[in-house]
Amino acid sequence: MRVCMESIVVAVSGMQPWYDEALAGVVACFLRAIAQGRAATAAREGPFLTG
């Protein structure tokens, strides 16, 4: 099963089709949340490391 959400594609196979789709959807949502969090941090602090 493959899920595409906001240009994030996750493929899962090996369980029942409805579990494959649910797991792929959850992973896509987690990846989207991580990307949004990092984008917010970069907007607030700048995209580059300083030190």
pLDDT tens digits, 29-47 = 999 999 999 999 888 887 7
pLDDT at position 49: 66
**For residues 12 and 1, is the Cβ–Cβ distance under 8 A?**
yes
Cβ atoms of 24 and 10 within 8 Å: the answer is yes
How far is the C-alpha of 6 from the C-alpha of 48, rounded, in Å? 25
| Measured distance between the N- and C-terminal CA atoms of the chain, rounded to whole angstroms | 44
- As a whole number, mean pLDDT of residues 22-33 equals 95
Strand partners for 2: 11
Say if CB 20 and CB 11 are below 8 A apart: no
Whether residue 50 has pLDDT greater than 70: no
